[in-house]
Amino acid sequence: MSEPQKDATPQTPSERAEARTIFWRGFVQMLPGTTGSFSTGLICGAAAIAAGMSSLSSMAIATFGFAGTAQLVVVQLATTGSTLVVIALAGLIVNLRYAMFSLSMSRYLTHMNRRQRFIAAFFLTDPAYALSVARFTQHPDESPRIRYEYYMGATLAMGIGWFAGTGLGTALGAAMPASWQVEFCVPLTFLAMVAATVRDRATVVAAVVGGIVSLLAVGFPYRGGLLVASVAGIAAGYVVESWQRR
């Protein structure tokens, strides 16, 4: 017989009280990071409206996607007339880093049932991951149940910032005249993201190669130039990083 599925939910009154305390501790400690999710959501909401989406569509993609960078990619490709397949693949490539995050988190968030695993994976964000893993390494003796509560508290804070920003951006975008051309916020935001992440030789090479290939591949059918450029940039960065480690 298979082993019964374990559950990370606190069972006793003392465990539930401790879980609530840790949950709100994660929430409070994540609050400074919500400024980033709020501002990203603000831009995403306004850009979605500028791209011709309805308010309902803007909030729907924010809810079911829950990924700021991927949403910016989707909006940008949608405005250029890319096919659904290209848009989906681009969003998948952008979010591949979460597979590595999930593998890292799986060492700490054990004893979860399927519902808890789905929730933890769906709402995984960069700041919540970084904050949670930092705490988990500093408190190696904490139980998986406590770790899960802390992580979910941090996730709630990020979610509030994200949905509040997206809602406000959607409302403002719907009220802005078309002459303001809010869609230019999307490429400007990407430029800011790239500038913030280019910190060593490998990322410089990846950014340069990806940029050059994207220009050369601008005429590819089905707007597939972005996918080709992404793969080329990642490969170039990997080669440089591997060479540096030798």
pLDDT reported for residue 4: 43
pLDDT tens readout for residues 121-173? 999 988 899 899 999 989 888 888 899 999 999 999 999 999 999 999 899 87
- CA 245 to CA 100: how far, in whole Å? 20
The burial class, CB within 10 Å (0-12 / 13-18 / 19+), for 149 is buried
pLDDT tens readout for residues 20-72? 899 999 999 999 888 888 988 888 888 888 778 889 988 998 898 888 878 87
End-to-end CA gap in the chain: 48
Q: Which residue has the tokens 């924010």?
A: 62
Whether the CB-CB separation of 81 and 207 falls below 8 Å is answered with: no
This prediction has a pTM of: 0.71
Let me know the angle formed at the C-alpha of 193 by 181 and 74, rounded to the nearest 5 degrees: 55
pLDDT reported for residue 197: 59
Greater confidence (202 vs 178) lies with: 202
- CA 109 to CA 94: how far, in whole Å? 24
The conformation of residue 33, written as its DSSP 8-state character, comes to: G
- CA 212 to CA 35: how far, in whole Å? 33
As a whole number, mean pLDDT of residues 191-215 equals: 74
Amino acid type, 8 = A
pLDDT reported for residue 35: 86
